[in-house]
Amino acid sequence: MKGKLITVFVGVFIVAVSWVPLLIVAARDRYAMPVGLGLLAFAGSFVGGVTALVG
């Protein structure tokens, strides 16, 4: 049970951390369109979500 809870928290952490670079760029330049960072955030959200669901 403890291992599954840790896996859920790790998945949620991956989701949160994957969005940080995109949010930093958006905060610095309002009109920036970082497509690569957006794809990275989406992929990180997918991986983190799957990890959380496995847990």
Mean pLDDT by 10 residues, the chain (55 residues): 88 92 89 88 92 87
Question: Residue 32: what pLDDT?
Answer: 84
Question: Residue 30: what pLDDT?
Answer: 85
Question: Residue 48: what pLDDT?
Answer: 92
* Distance linking the first and last C-alpha atoms of the chain: 9
Amino acid, single-letter form, for residue 23? L
What lies within 8 Å, CB to CB, of 34 at 6+ separation is 22, 25, 26
pTM of the predicted model as reported, rounded to 2 decimal places? 0.80
Count the domains in the chain.
1
Helix (H) or strand (E) holding 16: helix 2-28
Domain range enclosing 50: 2-54
